[in-house]
Amino acid sequence: MNRPSLFIRDPKKTDPARGKIALNIALVAAVLFAIVQFSLSRIDHIPRWDQIWTYRILFFKGFGMTIIVSLFALILSLTFGTLAALGNHSKVYFFHYLSKFYIELIRGTPLLVQIVFFYYIIGTAFQIENKIIGGILILSTFSGAYVSEIIRAGIESIENSQLEIARALGLNHRQIYRLIIYPQVIRQVLPPLAGQFASIIKDSSLLSFIAVREFTKVTFEVTAINFATFESYALLAVGYLLLTLPISLWTKRLERKFYYES
């Protein structure tokens, strides 16, 4: 009869490290729950979770709108960011300085100011009446500047020796980008791009200022009707956590994976 190797882990045994992690997570959750319960008892708050169930359809619609806006904003921000990063490395001065001006302007001003300016001034001038489309374009423009910096950092992480070797092999400028730079840049920028997607989801809450009925806007409306402020905002926090927490965990997994591969 074959004996089990000392170097093979028995799947039936529990990993002690995982047990400690689970125990500490449970303790942290218990402490947070106790703090919330103590705070509610001090202000004599009576929970009214039935009010949340009454307006569940509105909350589901707002939650779905947040997902739709964030998804399309992610796709467009990748497009804007890639174009800005390429323009930043362009030898044509017009595109180079246009990209730099775009990045510095967007990153140097608050998103709320950009929402008001782009929607009520530029959006009105170009007759963009659909608030959802306008909100997606604004959020994409804002996030695109940060995506551009992520891509730029990925491009600049490529060692110059690789480019010199590529030129010595006779590769032209387009082949260098397609065969050498792009594959490595994609591997480098995936983890920070995943984190930027989580930021897009949270930043979409500011679109409520132009009456886009996403999750935050719906919460404002429901709270004004039932005055269940704590319950509504608790649901709002949980909803955003359900969207951002899996992305954050996926980001950490990508960072560990690509760290060992590099």
Supply the pLDDT for residue 7.
41
Supply the pLDDT for residue 259.
58
Supply the pLDDT for residue 249.
82
Supply the pLDDT for residue 80.
95
Q: How far apart are CA 228 and CA 213, in angstroms?
A: 19
Report residue 259 CA to chain centroid gap. Answer: 21
Amino acid making up residue 208: S
pLDDT digit string (tens) for the chain, length 262 residues: 444 444 444 444 455 577 888 888 889 989 988 998 888 888 877 888 888 899 999 999 999 999 999 999 999 999 999 999 989 888 899 999 999 999 999 999 999 999 999 999 999 899 888 999 999 999 999 999 999 999 888 888 878 788 788 888 888 878 887 888 777 877 788 888 888 888 999 999 999 989 899 999 999 999 999 888 889 999 999 999 999 888 888 877 776 776 545 4
Q: Is the domain defined by 55-261 classed in CATH 1.10.3720.10? A: yes
| pTM of structure | 0.80
C-alpha separations of 218 from 67, 101, 116, 211, 212 in Å: 14, 35, 20, 10, 9
Supply the pLDDT for residue 48.
84
Supply the pLDDT for residue 113.
94
Supply the pLDDT for residue 103.
94
Q: How far apart are CA 132 and CA 211, in angstroms?
A: 9
3-state secondary structure 41-73: HHCCCCCCHHHHHHCHHHHHHHHHHHHHHHHHH
DSSP 8-state class, residue 210: G
Supply the pLDDT for residue 258.
62
Supply the pLDDT for residue 109.
94
Quick one: which of 205, 188, 194, 189 has its CA closest to 246? 194
